[in-house]
Amino acid sequence: MRLDRLRGRRLIATAAILVLGLALAACSDPQSTVDPKSDHTETINDLYIIVFWLAMVVFVAVLGATLALSLMFRERPGRVAKQIHGNSRLEVVWTLIPVVILVAIFVPTVAAISDLDHGDEDELPANTVRVEAIGHQWWFEFRYPDLGIVTANEMHVPVDTPVLVTLLSDDVIHSFGVPQLAGKVDMVPGREHRILFTPNEARPNAYLGQCVEFCGTSHANMRFRVFVDEQGVFDAWARNEIADAVAVESLSALAQEGGALFTNPLLAAGATPCIGCHTVSGSLASGTIGPNLTHVGGRSTLFAGVRDGFAGAANPDAVQRELERWISNPDDIKPGVTTRQSGMPAWGELLTGEQIRAIAAYLRELR
């Protein structure tokens, strides 16, 4: 039958696409799960390669057999079906074949689980960087208790150094997923999970991460970046983060005006002022509900990886316009922010455009 032959070509084409597609995905995609850049993900990927090829063998064998049998035994004049009821020996054989394949998957699986276990935390190398990652609806907070850094949505770590991330959540369940460095582990309120990895390739572009457990309206807009830096770059970043925000005197006039608005505890009647939720160290602002904004102007993204930030921006004025849009009505960019519990007000209803522009200018200069 013509259609069967057609189906044969389709199957072969499918198999080809499978291999090709997976191979392509490995090379280029910035959030690829098969492009490991740490010891942790290399262990996973080595296991994945074994399992992938075993899966391919089963795929080709079973689909090939399905196709071949369908073609070989299709209806023919004069053909009589053999009335076979079964064969115990065959049953044993094809019970054992999957068992063998599964053992071949299971043994390296157990080995990998044991390799990935972070073991006793007291025995980690002295240079281990400890980070607390806290999930919030819908942004990530990163704290470095040993260094005294609190930042948001962008995590910096030195290359070739073990990183122990403690995963926490402030509200609902989130998941810390950064495929090239750490796979994923959930952030569950009331629990502490840990993940240990040693990144092995510094690069100027960040590794992309994202919340991978559905966490409400703007789950899709909860992204983060991990910068793997050479030690010197990391140290410089850390020094800047530890320092207080830029002194008010060195800001532009408009930014100074914005700073005054930002730190005004009586900014607008009926709305929590900026400093009720945000911290800008060195100023009055010391709220802890929203992201720490001390160095927000120096970040490469804004609003949890949803828009480009000021750092390295080709057109910083365009970034500022997005920031003004955010302050006016964050739901425009990230739905649900104003309506979530202790969400951010839409300042567009409470402040003038001039005031919002000033606040955005202030934040822009907080490098």
Partner 1 sequence: MATAAGALAPPAVPAPSVVWSWLTTVDHKRIGTLYGVSGMAFFVLGGIEALMIRGQLAVPNGDVVDAEHFNALFSMHALTMIFLAIMPLGAAFFNWLVPLMIGARDVAFPRLNALSYWFFLAGALMLNASWFLGGAPDTGWFAYPPLTEEPFSTSRAMDFYTVSLLILGVASLIAALNFIVTIINLRAPGMTMLRLPVFVWMTMIVSWLLALSLPVLTVGLVQLYFDRNFTTHFFIPDGGGDPILWQHIFWIFGHPEVYVLILPAMGIVSEVLPTFARKPLFGYAAVVFAGLSIAVLGFAVWSHHMFTTGLGPVPRVVFSATTMTIAVPTGVKIFNWLATLYGGNIRFTTAMYFAVGFIATFTIGGISGVMHASPPIDSQQQDTYFIVAHLHYVLFGGAIMGIFAGVYYWFPKFTGRFLNEGIGKLHFWLFFIGMNLTFFPMHFLGVAGMPRRIYTYDADLGWETWNFVATIGAFVIAAGMLTFLWNFVRSLRAEANAPDNPWDAPTLEWATSSPPPEHDFDVVPVVRARDPLWHDRDNGLAPPEPDPNEHIHLPPPSYYPLLIAIGFALFGIGALSHLAVLALGAVVIVYGVWGWVLEPTGPEPGGAH
Q: Which stretch binds partner 1 (CB under 8 A): 88-96, 244-252, 292-300, 358-366?
A: 88-96
Binder among 8, 29, 254, 338 for partner 1 (CB under 8 A): 29
* Residue 211 contacts partner 1 per CB under 8 A: yes
* Residue 109 contacts partner 1 per CB under 8 A: yes
Tokens 């309120």 locate to 189
Is the Cβ–Cβ distance between 324 and 360 less than 8 Å? yes
Binder among 5, 16, 53, 98 for partner 1 (CB under 8 A): 98
* Residue 63 contacts partner 1 per CB under 8 A: yes
State the nearest-atom distance from the C-beta of 197 to partner 1, in Å.
11
* Residue 97 contacts partner 1 per CB under 8 A: yes
Q: Which stretch binds partner 1 (CB under 8 A): 14-22, 224-232, 259-267, 282-290?
A: 14-22
* Residue 18 contacts partner 1 per CB under 8 A: yes
Whole-number CA gyration radius for the chain: 27
> φ, ψ for residue 135 (rounded to 5)?
-85, 135
In angstroms, the CA 138 to CA 173 distance is 11
Q: Please list, in sequence order, all residues whose beta carbon lies within 8 angstroms of the beta carbon of residue 122, skipping any fewer than 6 positions away.
A: none
Is the Cβ–Cβ distance between 33 and 40 less than 8 Å? no
* Residue 104 contacts partner 1 per CB under 8 A: no
State the nearest-atom distance from the C-beta of 298 to partner 1, in Å.
22
Binder among 135, 158, 162, 177 for partner 1 (CB under 8 A): 177
The DSSP letter of residue 100 is H
Positions in 291-310 near partner 1 (CB under 8 A): none
Is the Cβ–Cβ distance between 134 and 140 less than 8 Å? yes
Other Cβ atoms within 10 Å of 348 Cβ, number: 16
* Residue 205 contacts partner 1 per CB under 8 A: no
> b or e along 197-224 (b: 16 or more beta carbons within 10 Å of the residue's beta carbon)?
bbbbebeeebbbbbbbbebeebbebbbb
Q: Which stretch binds partner 1 (CB under 8 A): 37-45, 128-136, 148-156, 230-238?
A: 37-45
In angstroms, the CA 116 to CA 240 distance is 33
Site string for partner 1, 215-254 (x = CB under 8 A): xxxxxxx---------------------------------
State the nearest-atom distance from the C-beta of 62 to partner 1, in Å.
5
What are 63's two structure tokens? 């689909």
> φ, ψ for residue 64 (rounded to 5)?
-65, -45
CA-wise closest residue to 48 among 22, 27, 29: 22
Q: Which stretch binds partner 1 (CB under 8 A): 62-70, 244-252, 279-287, 320-328?
A: 62-70
**Residue whose CB is less far from partner 1, 34 or 152:** 34
Q: Determine the size of the site formed for partner 1 (CB under 8 A).
A: 100
What are 61's two structure tokens? 């064998």
Residues in the chain: 367
Tokens 């992938």 locate to 52
State the nearest-atom distance from the C-beta of 70 to partner 1, in Å.
6
State the nearest-atom distance from the C-beta of 306 to partner 1, in Å.
8
State the nearest-atom distance from the C-beta of 305 to partner 1, in Å.
9
β-partners of residue 164 are 130, 196
In angstroms, the CA 291 to CA 295 distance is 11
State the nearest-atom distance from the C-beta of 118 to partner 1, in Å.
10
Positions in 66-85 near partner 1 (CB under 8 A): 66-67, 69-70, 73-76, 79-85
Torsion angle of C-alpha atoms 304, 309, 312, 314, degrees rounded to 10 = 130
- Identify residue 47 by its one-letter amino acid code: L
Is residue 347 reached through a cis peptide bond, with omega within 30 degrees of 0 on the bond before it?
Answer: no
Binder among 8, 12, 39, 59 for partner 1 (CB under 8 A): 59
Binder among 37, 133, 134, 137 for partner 1 (CB under 8 A): 137
* Residue 206 contacts partner 1 per CB under 8 A: no
Is the Cβ–Cβ distance between 356 and 348 less than 8 Å? yes
Positions in 331-360 near partner 1 (CB under 8 A): 335-336, 340-341
